[in-house]
Amino acid sequence: MLEDLSRNQRDKMAAAEALAGSGATVHAYGDGVGQARFPKAAMWIVGIFVAIFVAVMIAFDRILIPGFLVLIVLAGLIHPRRGIAVTPSGVLVMQVSMWNARPNQILFTAPVGALVPLDPKDATARKVRLVIGPERIRLERRVYDLLMMAAERMGPLSVSSTTQYVVRNPGPGWFPDPFGRAEFRYWDGAGWTSHVS
């Protein structure tokens, strides 16, 4: 199966295996887009850009066109890439670098059963939405199918409402409600609370 992958895909899979630790085997790796957010770093970039824009406009009587790189960084902060690696011990959700598109940090682990789509209508859609731990991730259909084939080779998938996640990062905070009962639910760093928004 590795022979069928491009060099870039093999490099991403090797990076995921390196993060998973010695002796860990990654059966499949794919990446998608995480839910929209507006972190402090994005606010700083917008603030600095506005300050520079106003300063240049006042000093030189010119309008500054936004830099392409600033827009790429801002888009990466608002819609972060997330990598998903299927291993024998479960699913690893990883942060993906904006610079080389390779996974660079494990955010948390989940059971393989967490790969079940958020909406049953996603079974035939071009994009598949998943809720894994505190993250909502949108994957292309071919990426999702690759992950599912690897997961199904390891045994039957089962999903439990008491599924436990091992969260390494992020810490406590408000995230989209994985249960769909509210827009946001508070993640206390170890599990979902009853606090919703």
Residues 101-136: pLDDT tens digits?
899 999 888 888 788 777 767 667 888 888 887 888
Q: Which of 90, 73, 94, 98 is nearest to 82 (CA)?
A: 94
Q: What's the CA gap between 115 and 147, in Å, rounded? A: 8
CA-CA-CA-CA torsion sign (49, 54, 58, 60)? positive
| Residue 9: C-alpha distances to residues 20, 43, 91, 97, 192 (Å) | 16, 32, 18, 14, 34
Residues 34-46: tens digit of each pLDDT: 877 777 777 787 7
The answer, yes or no, to whether the previous bond of 172 is cis (omega within 30 of 0) is: no
Please determine, for residue 84, whether its predicted confidence score (pLDDT) is greater than 80.
Answer: yes
- The Cα 45–Cα 43 span in angstroms is 5
pLDDT at residue 11 tops 70: yes
pTM, to two decimals: 0.65
Domains of the chain listed by start with CATH number: 2-35+81-169 (2.30.29), 41-73 (no CATH)
Residue 56 has pLDDT above 50, yes or no: yes
Q: Which residues lie across from 29 on neighbouring strands?
A: 85
What single-letter amino acid sits at 129?
R
DSSP per residue, 97-135: -TTT--EEEEEEEE-GGGGS-SSGGGGSSSEEEEEETTE
**Cβ–Cβ under 8 Å, residues 31 and 96:** yes
pLDDT-derived band at 157 (thresholds 50, 70, 90) equals: low
Nearest CA-CA partner of 25 in 83, 90, 104: 90
DSSP symbol at 65:
P
Burial 66-81 (b: 16+ CB within 10 A, else e): eeeeeeebbebbeebb
CA distance 146 to 128: 12
